Structure 1
């Protein structure tokens, strides 16, 4: 702001001496955003005869507006449907910026006497800054804490970046610490927080980290490792118990489905024919079980035959 006031004062002095006044204004804008260029001429409003806006880049001049021509608005295809111009023609806005819109924009105002009042806007379009990250490059543990080297970076090749570090205790305001992407810290308190600010002239992003997180990872990781081990053991035990249960159930189910041996209840019988011995046949064994010419007596004996039962093992 002070620079713009100084430039305006110099332009006023030059204009009062009858020279051509020209003010240079630096403008920074974000890709896909917008930029507005506005100028208040030193000439009397009733004496201005013509106004011209133009864009200069790589030794190429593009006419944007010229009131000496009809119609006044002359849009190049580069700015088609992306321009807004105020009613008094002193304010120009370009929307949905591209990287090709970076360059020099000029406005020239000429009065009836031929005096020219000019302003130049140097517009630079920047890409948005990605979210930064903080990495720990070097760490030495001490009895009071640790000495750490922190590196702040963004995952891109974005240029024109600056890095600023700040710190604070819990609940307090941030205080300046150092500049640059890499800093060395020796924190006095475990509740300290360090903030890395990455910025270019059009955008700014930041990321923070806690000293306790940096200097005491072993205890935290040890607890996490212990919990992970317990969880793995419990899950393995549950899987084992489920496996045993499924096996026992399957074995019992298979046993109940095996066909049982049924006893052979088929009735078998033989017929035995007997006949009494006569007196003169005593001692003669040749007639035992054979038909006798004498009167015989037939008797039938029934019995049930079964397979022996298998012993349980």
Structure 2
């Protein structure tokens, strides 16, 4: 009975031997890149010594480039003007990679004895995550409770979402683009909500701030500004120019007008030696007016 088992094992090895040698790739690696970068596909494992032929495939049946001891042949594919083969190392240089270049690339080499060696290299290309703003789909206060519906969805990209509060990652492993929260007065309410969007090559985040139970807080130049307890559209806080203080005309202006009128009268009379024209008060009023003028918004000058 034992001998029969050995016979079956030996027969199975003979049947699988061709596939173990040439049909199944011997080595697999993975490379991740940002779109627009240049990448090099090259195995970290030592290849067959004295190989005489090598071929790179985009898919199992689409050749990119082929090399033998006498020539390099680039095939008419989407890579034709974006690739370069280094015959010495068999490294394949791809320039300006795009998301569409993501694939499992196959390198096949052989030597004079006919032995073959195959390597799979997985290339994943991602676009950088764009900047975004959290969209406030609904902010509704009911008594002391608050309902929030926030969104940070990125269109047409494979990304991961994580929401954070001032206590850390949002409970229950929330990993969706939309966050719905019912806040009650009996629970500790977070003062902010942050959405982090990421892929293997980049990440972006945005934060909205609230004052419990349901008041949006805008952060402008490091200072808080209280909003209203109503549903609000998405926005990006901005600092708007304004006249200093209340925007009113300086208190010194009436006095300055009086002095200037007196100076004008005296100059018409030819009395330029009058003390009023050379007084400290006169020069101080002129200086105050110049200072206020330089601080005013352009459209008020």
Q: CA 1:186/1:38 → structure 2, altered by over 3 Å: closer, same or farther?
A: farther
What SS does structure 2 have at the residue aligned with 1:160? Answer: coil
Distance in 1 separating the partners of 2:192 and 2:18: 54
- The match for 2:209 is 210
**After superposition, where does 1:135-174 map in structure 2 within 5 Å?**
135-154=135-154, 159-170=156-167
Q: CA 1:214/1:142 → structure 2, altered by over 3 Å: closer, same or farther?
A: closer
Give TM-score, length-normalised by structure 1: 0.54
Query: Given that residues 134 and 150 in structure 1 are in contact (C-alpha distance below 8 angstroms), is that contact kept between their aligned partners in structure 2?
Result: yes
Shift of 1:124: 4.3
Shift of 1:249: 2.0
- The match for 1:246 is 256
Shift of 1:134: 0.8
What SS does structure 1 have at the residue aligned with 2:266? Answer: helix
Point out where structure 2 has 5 or more consecutive residues left out of the alignment.
1-15, 218-224, 229-239, 271-301
What SS does structure 2 have at the residue aligned with 1:235? Answer: coil
**Which of structures 1 and 2 has the bigger CA Rg?**
1
Point out where structure 1 has 5 or more consecutive residues left out of the alignment.
1-12, 223-227, 261-313
2:79 corresponds to 1:79: no
**After superposition, where does 1:24-173 map in structure 2 within 5 Å?**
27-39=31-43, 45-46=48-49, 49-56=51-58, 61-63=63-65, 65-66=66-67, 68-70=68-70, 78-79=81-82, 83=84, 85=86, 88-89=89-90, 91-94=91-94, 96-98=96-98, 101-102=101-102, 105-154=105-154, 159-170=156-167
Q: Deviations over 1:126-165 (max 9, x none)?
A: 32221222121101124555211001045xx5x2333423
Q: CA 1:27/1:254 → structure 2, altered by over 3 Å: closer, same or farther?
A: closer
Give TM-score, length-normalised by structure 2: 0.56
Distance in 1 separating the partners of 2:62 and 2:21: 30
In angstroms, what is the RMSD of aligned CA positions?
4.4
- Give the length in aligned residue pairs: 228
Query: Given that residues 27 and 121 in structure 1 are in contact (C-alpha distance below 8 angstroms), is that contact kept between their aligned partners in structure 2?
Result: yes
Query: Given that residues 105 and 120 in structure 2 are in contact (C-alpha distance below 8 angstroms), is that contact kept between their aligned partners in structure 1?
Result: yes
Query: Given that residues 166 and 193 in structure 2 are in contact (C-alpha distance below 8 angstroms), is that contact kept between their aligned partners in structure 1?
Result: no
